[in-house]
Chains A and B, each alone.
Chain A
Amino acid sequence: MTAPSSPVAPMDDAALALRAFALCPSAFGGLWLRGPGPARDAMIERLGSASRLMRMPAHIDGERLRGGIDLAASLAAGRSVARAGFLQEARGGVVVAALAERITPALAGSVAQALDQGDPAERFGLVLLDDGAEADERPPMSLTERVAFVCNLAGAQPSGVADWVLPEPVTSLADLPACSMEALRALASVSLALGVDSGRALRFAALAAGASAWLDGRTSVSDADLAAASRLVLAPRATRMPPPPTEPQAEDDAQPPPLPENEGMDGNDGEPEPPSYSNQDPSQDKDRVDDKTPDPDQLIAAAAAAIPPGLLAQIAAGRSRRGTGSGGGARHQSPLRGRPLAARPGLPSGGARLALIDTLRAAVPWQALRRQEGGDGRRLGLRIMKDDVRVRRFEARSASVTVFAVDASGSAAFSRLAEAKGAVELLLAQAYVKRTEVALVAFRGDQAQLLLPPTRSLTRARRALTELPGGGGTPLAAGLSMVCTLGTGLLGRGYTPLLVILTDGRGNIALDGSMNRAAATDDAMRAARTIAAARLAGVVIDISPRPRAEAAAIASAMQARYLPLPQASAATLSKVIGALT
């Protein structure tokens, strides 16, 4: 089969996404722009010239977001001063969320709720600026779900962005060309093939196809529009690779008898006009606009080609996308619970609560003086200044994450892995009691692999663990450096990681992948010392039948405990680790 169009340059798709968003901002929700760079800045600037932009910092607090009474101003004025919330102010404009991958689930929840508001006139657009470098560093799914278009702009050139013609918003979505039944069937089969299961994505795809046709000056949806919708909306949300296109089942489902008539709402237009924009859609000269029967297989192939490479690796590793992450919990120092500490001056905001008694206690000694100074004797009540206000503080413990690094090399791998697997599941089964999360790294052959990113979910863990590969060399250094990176990242995000290394300490693959025992040992020792320097707590469990000096040496370089456990069973392991956390 032939590809329906030549590879599309990322900036052409980005142009289409931005123009479609400008066409009906409330229906499309917004854009998710991955990868920092000049192209992205230029796009934001272009968007800013057409609509009102409001930048939302990732640290914005709940008070500012929702608005309410401005306490400081109210106290100073002696009457209540209200302040509009950020999301209220944003109505009719576009919220630009910088560092979107750092947005907390709590903030995302509030924004998502505001995005869902019923009346289109009160909605705002959302642009997620995602600088996430790692594949699993993503903005919360509650937000990415609600924006239609995904563009990867890393390394793209901003040439020509300033000349993009942004259309005026349409008054009603009924103005957009509707998808015919065949077009909808084609989009549905693409979504099925790529494993895109969200109803929102389906809705966005159908709308995007209509918008693409409108922008091209046509009144019916063509193959090129469907391909664009698949690329911009469906492909980035893929959770699996499409099955081979020759599969008979897919053909049965996907190729309905062609209907002669366009069945859309306003589908009485038989003759599509020729496209009027000539420089926007590079694929249009290859597409025959009079072709009324979209070929789902071609669409699927086009969409599959647009799946970002990082995503492919994730799918291959059998991992689902990391959602809003941490599973909530005590990730931050909580102002709400934990061990109470003394009250401290400050305004109650961002969830911190007023310590009323302490506030009054701070204000009382000054009352006589303030009444004299105030001059105005008629004003009743306490005179409380901003400096008197105290808030409560609590000390919360951060959640701990147990990171397993399992030596999956050689012949003993099978049983060791099985035991590590058992220990992970046992720990997770009681994770909700101890509030711990678990991650698993396996190293074998010439590399280390993150099989299970930190999670509290038994369901996910079980799926990640079903296919655990074993055998090959021992890239101990690679394994250690991966857990070191993972551990440092977790530490930075407020978790307390504990590294559990299951190995015999005999690495034979160096960091560069070469089979050289001396270099491998050097690399491993260096990685172990890096772990010690990063102040990561850990334990090395020696699982060789006759414990020797190598694993102990690694442990001492890591400044970690050393435990020889020749017959480690899942139950013993989880007991040992349970005692350490």
Chain B
Amino acid sequence: MKRFPFSAIVAQDEMKQALLLAAVEPALGGVMVFGDRGTGKSTAARALAALLPPITAVEGCRFCCAPADAGTCPDPCTSKRSVKRAVPFVDLPLGATEDRVIGALDLERALRSGEKRFEPGLLAKAHRGFLYIDEINLLEDHLVDLLLDVAASGENLVEREGLSVRHKARFVLIGSGNPEEGELRPQLLDRFGLSVEVRTPQAIEARVEIMRRCAAHERDSLAFTEEWAAADAKIVRRIARGRTRLPTVETPDEVLYDASRLCMATRADGLRGELTLMRSARAMAALEGADTVQRKHIIAVAPMALRHRLRRDVLDETGSTLRIERAIAEVFG
């Protein structure tokens, strides 16, 4: 059965936009998706991973090293041949243990032959791909800390059980959760690059469309994906163009100034907000095919980049999106 195509997902434009930005600029630091269940969060993330062109990796490397990085992992990784692999998509289950996430001593080998060998975990599997965590707000805090740390540094450092291992682990972290079932600590939230809020569409037509497309996909997934192949291919081209353009996108001083003013007006905590705002605006510009970052790019990404960094005020019940919109109106008139 073919995967549900990315372009066939009804509505949820902000989430799709955020995922595309993260695909263009993985250094953004992940996307946090807030919302009810059954809003197509994991479908969208999976579809995007399936959409991207395969990656080249050293043959036989358990850590999926790119040929240029050969030998940087704990494996021998000496093969001169390279193979194509699909972009990894790892779905981290809530019950995953620390061992399974970061990797552990290969118990069997240690006990039988005394060999100290590292058994890669899910972080190694997600290298150069996506790591999706449903209900991240219910995950044990120490695991979330660990994941965000690795996502930010791009490297998994294991120092335990007599092992001292480091390997590359660069992935786009996608977390999802419903704030009504428990909240994520603000410190952790702050470390996500972008955050979006999703809701099932409240219009009848959109809901009918959801049911129609799901049914069509289930009846004949092959024909359905073919129907959407052209739209999907267009997205692939946009991402590829965005990636090549990104390093050359210029950031004029007045746009930097705009970003600072906006952050001051929203009173977003910390410098990370400003950095992410700039980075995502650049990714937005690259995705849209612009040579320089403009104010409209800043405005377009501001809600995603700042929403989760606003200081929580117990007495102010205004939604964070509204507060950012107000700040935009205030700063840019």
Contacts and interface: CB of A to CB of B under 8 A. Distances in A.
B214 A203 contact: yes
B113 A206 contact: no
A219 B283 CA distance: 51
Contacts of B113: 380-381
A459 interface: yes
Contacts of B94: 105-106, 108-110, 142
B202 A192 contact: yes
A328 B314 contact: no
A348 B107 contact: yes
A545 interface: no
Contacts of A187: 211
Contact of B314 (A69, A199, A254, A429): A429
Contacts of B211: 179, 184, 187-188, 202-203, 205-206
A198 B43 CA distance: 13
B200 interface: yes
A383 to B, nearest CB: 10
A570 to B, nearest CB: 10
A456 B182 contact: yes
Given A197-B38, A198-B39, A356 B140 contact: no
A188 B204 contact: yes
A198 B314 contact: no
B37 A142 contact: yes
Contact of A458 (B37, B40, B312): B312
Nearest to A196: B200
B178 interface: yes
B309 to A, nearest CB: 16
A173 B219 contact: yes
A474 interface: no
A350 to B, nearest CB: 9
A62 interface: yes
Contacts of A109: 93-95, 134-135, 138
Contacts of B220: 174
B183 interface: yes
A389 to B, nearest CB: 8
A119 interface: yes
Contact of B208 (A71, A184, A357): A184
Nearest to A363: B111
Nearest to B200: A197
A112 B182 contact: no
Contact of B137 (A69, A328, A426): A328
Interface in B53-105: 91, 93-99, 104-105
Given A356-B105, A425-B314, A173 B218 contact: yes
Nearest to A356: B161
Nearest to B313: A429
B140 A329 contact: yes
Interface residues of B, number: 61
A337 interface: yes
A559 interface: no
Contacts of B199: 197
A192 B207 contact: yes
B182 A185 contact: no
A280 B210 CA distance: 31
A455 interface: yes
Interface string A323-346: 111111100001011000000000
B99 A353 contact: yes
B86 to A, nearest CB: 13
Nearest to B136: A328
A201 B93 CA distance: 22
Interface string A27-38: 100000000000
A97 to B, nearest CB: 14
A27 B38 CA distance: 15
Contact of B1 (A120, A184, A329, A381): A120
A172 interface: yes
A192 B186 CA distance: 33
Contact of B40 (A118, A185, A199, A265): A199
A113 B93 contact: yes
Interface string B302-333: 00000000001010010000000000000000
Contacts of A380: 113
B329 to A, nearest CB: 25
A524 interface: no
B79 to A, nearest CB: 25
A329 B94 CA distance: 12
B138 A328 contact: yes
B181 interface: yes
B317 A189 contact: no
A425 B312 CA distance: 12
B216 interface: yes
B216 to A, nearest CB: 7
Among A187, A254, A432, the one with the most B-chain Cβ atoms within 10 Å of its Cβ is: A432
B215 interface: yes
B218 A27 contact: yes
Among B94, B96, B110, B312, the one with the most A-chain Cβ atoms within 10 Å of its Cβ is: B94
A336 B219 contact: no
A80 interface: yes
B155 interface: no
A357 B142 CA distance: 24
Interface string B255-293: 000000000000000000000000000000000000000
A78 B112 CA distance: 7
B108 interface: yes
A493 interface: no
A488 interface: no
A253 interface: yes
Contacts of A254: 204
Given A181-B208, A432-B185, A69 B108 contact: yes
B12 to A, nearest CB: 10
A65 B179 CA distance: 28
A496 interface: no
B36 A197 contact: yes
30 contacts: A74-B108, A105-B94, A109-B93, A109-B134, A119-B1, A142-B135, A184-B208, A188-B211, A189-B204, A192-B202, A197-B36, A197-B39, A199-B200, A199-B210, A200-B37, A200-B38, A201-B38, A206-B215, A265-B215, A327-B183, A328-B139, A329-B141, A336-B98, A380-B113, A382-B111, A384-B111, A432-B186, A457-B181, A459-B179, A462-B317
| In the A-B complex, the 3 residue pairs with the closest CB atoms | A109-B94, A198-B38, A327-B182
Given A74-B111, A112-B93, A198-B38, 13 more contacts: A65-B95, A202-B210, A253-B204, A265-B215, A320-B180, A323-B178, A327-B181, A334-B140, A336-B142, A381-B114, A382-B114, A426-B314, A432-B186
